[in-house]
Amino acid sequence: MTFDVWFSLFLVCLLGAMSPGPSLATVTKHTLAGGRVNGLATSWAHSLGVGFYALITVTGLAVLLHKSELLFVLISCIGALYLAYLGWKSLSSRGGIAKTLIIGKAQTPLQAAKEGLMISLFNPKIGLFFIALFSQFIAAGEGVSGKVIVVATPLLVDGLWYSIITFLLSSPLLIERLRSRGKLIDQISGVILIILAVRVVWQNVGYFAS
């Protein structure tokens, strides 16, 4: 896998992690209610769920690619539409990323970790996101080392991003800056996701033209 391909994978994984939603709300809730330890427990348990989705998705898409190229291309295009939808949703967001920051009741680190894992495993949007994402990187993930990189990247990006959020929430000054720039973060994420969607479609145009 080339650095350019990996960096594209890293970027879209980061945007996926940054997207406002129940995952961010859960990490924030446990951080603000239970402290840094609870926040980190939630973050890395959530990332394990993301890694699980990444593993089963990259394996399933690899099998599909070998069995039916047409079906694989169609799934790639559907995934591109989903990426475009996420991009448009970010662009039209009114509350910004900070809208999801909520305070909840404190729990033990184990309870926080369990909730973080469940949020990732039972969120159907994560599965859809990986189908959209991995359709364009599956060819670059041939071989054991390629698959390890493709699976490890979203797992580590997710865990590190929410760890950063956990540390940010320990500083009132920094969280206020994040809140004030929430709309801008959404807009930048939206533009990049739409560009990635166009890229996926463009990569598959040749199949239908041939």
What is the predicted pLDDT for the residue at 66? Answer: 58
Predicted pLDDT at 80: 76
Q: Rounded to two decimals, what is the model's pTM?
A: 0.70
Total number of domains constituting the chain: 1
**What's the confidence (pLDDT) of residue 163?**
96
Whether residue 87 lies inside any domain: the answer is: yes
Would 36 be classed as within a structural domain? Answer: yes
Decide: residue 70, CB within 10 A, 0-12 exposed, 13-18 middle, 19+ buried: exposed
Tally helices (H) and strands (E) across the chain: 9, 0
Domain that holds residue 35: 3-205
Predicted local confidence at residue 203, as pLDDT: 72
Q: How high is the mean pLDDT in each 10-residue block of the chain (210 residues)?
A: 82 83 80 86 95 83 66 73 78 63 71 89 73 66 76 94 88 67 73 78 69
The C-alpha atoms of residue 203 and residue 209 are separated, in whole angstroms, by 11
Buried b (16+ CB within 10 A) or exposed e, 43-63: bbbbbbbbbbbbbebbeebbe
